[in-house]
Chains A and B, each alone.
Chain A
Amino acid sequence: MNKLQKQSLSIAALVLLLPAWWIAHLNTTFISSPFQVARLLPAFLSEGSTWYNIGVTLFRVVAGLVLGIVAGFIAAFAMNHSRLMREVLGYYVTSALRTPSAIAAILSVAIFKGSEFGYILVVAFITFPYMAVGLRDGLASADKGLAELGQIYHLGLFTQIRHVTAPFVAPYIFAALRNAHALAWKVIVVAEIFGAARVGFGAKFEHAWSYMLMDEVHLWLLVFMALVLFAEYGVIRRAEKFVFRWR
């Protein structure tokens, strides 16, 4: 399948949602008409506050992801190098992995009382075990033959990491990143709603829902979906394609 065919199919899949949306609108009182939402969309997007709120949520997601990735990397390297750390950290990682994201969001917001750091921390807490487990598995399956190659040709530590280890574990990192990224967006909205945040996507969504401003609810949902899809297809998959261009 060529690129044009793939893009056509993606657009067709989105367009197919419109009839379903329209039917749902005709049969309920709380789902706005797609045409009404489309009419309001340009004005909504031209408002500065829309982008400000998106920016706040985006910052929380990115900062939390970065923190989670760094923590995951440290945990994975520690687990890979020491049996003791593997035993000890293994429990923390498994616990974090099994904690429902809503519970983590509520706890974090309660502990940090709705501070900015609380939102970032909940994203980091939910995403770090994915990175830790993914990278740990990648490091554990490292190609011993390539490690020997590095030894025989006296590749330095930096060269070894840059040209041998990092590309080897890259598929594991990307797989973990995609899971972590998807979860990060979900958990930040839950945290913003439960934490009674004043700004951010979740706060505005909660506000619109509380006052039954259904057009606004739909607009926020649309923007949210567009943002998540852009991050997935426009950023992560493009980066993946570049990194794995040798395949």
Chain B
Amino acid sequence: MNTDTRETVLKVVDLGVSYGETPAIAQLDFEVKRGEFVAILGPSGCGKSSMLNVLSGLMAPTRGRVVVDGDELYLPRSKDPRLGYVFQAHRLLPWRTVRQNLEIVLGASDVPRDTWHARIDEILEILHIAEFKDAWPMRLSGGQRQRVSIARAILVDPSYILMDEPLSTLDEVTARSLRQELTGICQRTGATIVFVTHSIREAVYLADRIIILTRGPAQVFENYIVPLERPRDYDDARIAEVEADIVARVQAPWGLETVKERDVA
């Protein structure tokens, strides 16, 4: 039974997506509470990209409803959702400096212009990239670019932030350091996160709750509450135990008998 009394930010009801006759998402029902860090875990090809497109306002679902802060998306007169998105690749505009990249997004939001500078400075400070404010993205490392991408997502004070495997393109050392900081950043800013990942360990380390999807067309297989207090240690034996528990649970729904050896290794 869900005892979380926090306000619901995102509500997905009977969501289905099909491409012609081919279903990508069979049925999804879930909720995300304000300030919650939810990881979405599913095998390749289960429909995660379609789900992200729907949740980000890029694509209307074939069936079902998406409610953001009480407003239903994809109705003729529905409000555009205010959300942040951290892509796999940073998608910064290379011809604009870090500050300009952030200002462009602020310009499209209702954040008052006279607060922009202070806001940008504060977020960059939190992400430890304040000294790169006037740098071109090309001059930054992969990890720094992804930090700017996270700053851009947090900056507009979104209802929720979608993160599409944001650490998967980084080297392991950088990914570890950013992963470690990510939970702290979210706690400091109070952001609500929907984090899509292939990595079970990453999901266990970062999330309050993991929504495990079935093989495609996707359905929710399980809402898994991560039974670990914070702060967590990525190399902690308890993380490995929870990971092994999830691996054991998903073997049947994912139809992968070898998943245990591969993921735990």
Contact = CB atoms under 8 A, between A and B. Distances in A.
Partners in one complex: yes
B237 interface: no
A149 B96 CA distance: 14
Interface string B88-105: 010101111100000011
Contacts of B58: 148, 151-152
A145 B93 contact: no
Interface string B64-86: 00000000000000001001010
Nearest to A149: B91
A159 B107 contact: yes
Contacts of B108: 153-156, 159
Interface string A161-184: 001100100100000000000000
A145 B87 contact: yes
Contact of A152 (B56, B89, B107): B56
**Interface footprint category on B:** 20 to 34
B234 interface: no
Interface string A51-73: 00000000000000000000000
B7 to A, nearest CB: 23
B57 A151 contact: yes
Interface string A117-154: 00000000000000000000000000001101101111
Contacts of B85: 149, 152-153
Nearest to B139: A246
Contacts of B137: 246
A246 B138 contact: yes
Interface in B39-67: 56-58
A159 B108 CA distance: 9
A153 B85 CA distance: 8
B32 interface: no
A153 B156 contact: yes
Nearest to B152: A153
A227 to B, nearest CB: 31
B87 A159 contact: no
Report, as a range, how many residues of chain A touch the other chain: 10 to 19
B95 A167 contact: yes
B151 to A, nearest CB: 13
Contact of A163 (B83, B87, B89, B104): B104
Contacts of A146: 91, 93
B107 A167 contact: no
B136 interface: yes
A145 B105 CA distance: 15
Interface-centre pick from A149, A156, A244 (highest chain B CB count, 10 A): A149
Interface in B229-262: none
B80 A163 contact: no
Contacts of A156: 108
A3 interface: no
Given A151-B57, A159-B107, A164 B93 contact: yes
Contacts of B57: 151-152
Given A148-B58, A246-B95, 12 more contacts: A149-B91, A151-B58, A152-B58, A153-B105, A153-B109, A153-B156, A154-B108, A154-B109, A155-B107, A159-B104, A159-B107, A246-B96
Interface of B: 56-58, 80, 83, 85, 87, 89, 91, 93-97, 104-105, 107-109, 136-138, 152, 156
30 contacts: A145-B89, A145-B91, A146-B91, A148-B58, A148-B91, A149-B85, A149-B87, A151-B57, A151-B58, A152-B56, A152-B57, A152-B85, A153-B85, A153-B104, A153-B156, A154-B80, A154-B109, A155-B104, A155-B107, A156-B108, A163-B93, A163-B96, A163-B104, A164-B93, A167-B96, A170-B95, A244-B95, A246-B136, A246-B137, A247-B138
Shortest 7 CB-CB distances between A and B: which pairs?
A: A167-B95, A246-B136, A246-B95, A154-B108, A153-B105, A152-B85, A155-B108
